[in-house]
Structure 1
Amino acid sequence: MKRVLVLGATGRTGNAIIRQIGNDEKIEVIAGIRGNIDVARLPKIDRPIKEAVVDIDSISSLSDAASSSDIIINAIRLRGNIPPNALMELDMRIRNAISNEKYRHIITVGGAGSLQVSNGRRYWEDKQFPKTTLPRGIAHANLRQHLERNMQEDSWTYLIPPPKYLPTGLRTGKYERWEPSINESHFLTKSISYEDFAVAVSSAIREEWEGTHLIGNREV
């Protein structure tokens, strides 16, 4: 039995992930929530969901929430004008929270802003990148760079959805996976629903993926 802590459990991606993994008899879901009032925002599934109240700004709170988990899924979506290093610092807090505990793997829901395009640039630098999500795009690029340069690959998985990441898209139960490269521009034309992205997260748990992966559907 794998115990999986989902941070960002009440968000749309977190909900989709819990719906996907929550009915797997080999997985016990622990939903990280900000307060007991958030229990009502968790998806309704057949198997029980454990809850853990967690303050993501507190290392001790993160440590308490993660104490019984084997895998941590970081599906937190920081909003607004966040600092460029906000997601990197969150990842470091999570790591500090579990540094004195047993080995745990962190699976992070990435961002399209971190995609590598032509001439060594990131997608967030492209004029087509949405200005409303630019701070988060920059933060994801910094997080990806930090993971790839500084962290042991067997300690993390970073899954990147395409720019067309569809909250109301259909669930097909399928996805395609691409390995990272120095030019990932081909991936900008892809799309995937939240539900199908959650299928990939489930595979990452079962198959113990490591490193960076691009997750989409294989359409032109």
Structure 2
Amino acid sequence: MDRADRVRGLVLGCALGDAVGLATECDKGLPGWLQPSDAIRDAHRSKWIPGDWTDDTDQLVCVLRCMLPEVEGRPLRAPNACDFAQKLLAWHKVGFPELGDSGGCGMGRSTARVLDEPDFLRAPHAAARRAWDVTGRCMAPNGALMRAAATGLRPDHVEEDAKTIALVTHADPRSTAACVAVAKLVSLMLETGPRGIDRLLSEACAAAEPYLIEESLLGTLPQHS
């Protein structure tokens, strides 16, 4: 399997896993082998059509669109924070019209709070930081993690890309570190395949650790007694 096939598998796997998760999450009594009839229907899931993915995949697609080259055949572009902010806000308002959406669905409250900041489009990192400050710097939600896999596609720039995209909505260094770890793991697996998973996990955690240490030394993490 070449790298292009692995990238396709990554994107499709994220979408399929997202769809299965939406259909089955919060039910501990499901069988090990799922059937379409096992999908749970309730008020939360009624927002999506059966078999659909959620905002997890939608936001990953927004990241990918930031990285696609303007000219076919050229290398992937570095994701830009303002470009991603613009695409994220546009998705939030109208979804993907080409897929029949009328608006983005499923965005968490902490992410929506950042998008409501007046200068989100102009300075998304600063907007996210302010929204985090309002909470007392005690929230490290995983809303940025669900799109982090897309930032593992440029092997020489994984940490930079993951941090750039994470900080658009999530300022907590724990969120950044988690995104860096996932992106690094994805990058390593795209290059080598899932061999020696313990070693790959160790490398991914090592890549994420400096982001926690740096912020702790600066005193920006909340202090708990």
TM-score bucket (shorter structure): 0.3 to 0.5
Structure 1 length normalisation: TM-score?
A: 0.33
For the pair shown, the structure with the greater C-alpha radius of gyration is 2
Structure 2 length normalisation: TM-score?
A: 0.32
Return the structure number with greater relative CO, CA threshold 8 A, min gap 6: 1
Structure with greater strand percent: 1
Structure with greater helix percent: 2
